[in-house]
Amino acid sequence: MTDLSLRLPNTRLRAVLNLGKKRAAARTLPARFGEPELFADWDDEENLSVVYVEFDDGQLHLESTGTGVEHHFHTGDGDHRQGSPWSKRETQELLAWATLLAADFHDLMPDLLDDISQAAAWHDEGYDLYVCEVEEPTQLDLLEIEVEGELMTLPWLGAGTISHDHIDGENHPIALLWSPDDSDPDRPIAEAWLDPRTELPRSKALPGVDWTEIGMPADEVLPWLEGIYLNHHVIPDAEGTLLTAVLQRLGGLDGV
């Protein structure tokens, strides 16, 4: 079991960013859509941005390549569905807002993500203020976020080299991969996943592993793996937290 008392304290980060027009922020969503979970991604090769707007009872995903915004719907559990889970009027209002949000986000790519990554890197170095560079005077936005403290974990103390990667399965499982030298780890020795009841990681050792060869017993590796899972797959990092704050500001959801 991971000792959650070994969390580092939360920290603050202020970032001054160029968020452009923020057209979606000028619209008002119906109260029932007041607190969506927002995510976004960017595919540099395809020049494709994706914005996810998610609620307990349904999800709206939007894709843009700069020539328009396409959308589709999912259930609250993430399964694809043909039509909207909401009424026609609610869907129209949500789509009008979300389409502007997705278009404005796309217009800021990839420079905005570069700034977010740099701000997170500054935060990791111990700085609490990041200011983007602009070529000419423009209105900028100040965002202040609280970054959750990570769990304190030791470096890998076993033999060889390890890494971890997502694998297929329910509850977002990962595999701990191992190699006996400094080559790329490719041998699974343990797995971890998120317990949906507790929202905490669980883990198991895989059969057929010679733990003497690994250099650490399984009962030490598994709590260590759960800590890695928490830090990399549960606790939001500075970059992800700032991206969420940016989407909320673009959508007018942060009360500013």
Full pLDDT tens readout for the chain, 256 residues:
556 667 889 999 999 999 999 999 999 898 889 889 999 999 999 999 999 999 999 999 999 998 999 999 999 888 899 999 999 999 999 999 999 999 999 999 999 999 999 999 999 999 999 999 998 999 999 999 999 998 888 899 999 999 999 999 989 999 999 999 999 999 999 999 999 898 899 999 999 999 999 999 999 999 999 999 999 888 989 999 999 999 999 999 987 7
Are residue 81 and residue 180 in the same domain, yes or no?
no
Q: With respect to residue 113, please indicate whether it lies within any of the assigned structural domains.
A: yes
CA separation for the pair 145, 155 (Å, rounded): 28
- Residues of the domain holding 170: 161-234
Are residue 47 and residue 78 in the same domain, yes or no?
yes
Q: With respect to residue 3, please indicate whether it lies within any of the assigned structural domains.
A: no
pTM of the model: 0.82
Are residue 96 and residue 133 in the same domain, yes or no?
yes
Are residue 110 and residue 124 in the same domain, yes or no?
yes
Are residue 27 and residue 133 in the same domain, yes or no?
yes
C-alpha 106: how far from its chain's center? 18
Q: With respect to residue 47, please indicate whether it lies within any of the assigned structural domains.
A: yes
Q: With respect to residue 2, please indicate whether it lies within any of the assigned structural domains.
A: no
> Number of folded domains in the chain?
2
- Name residue, tokens 């057929």: 208
Are residue 31 and residue 138 in the same domain, yes or no?
yes
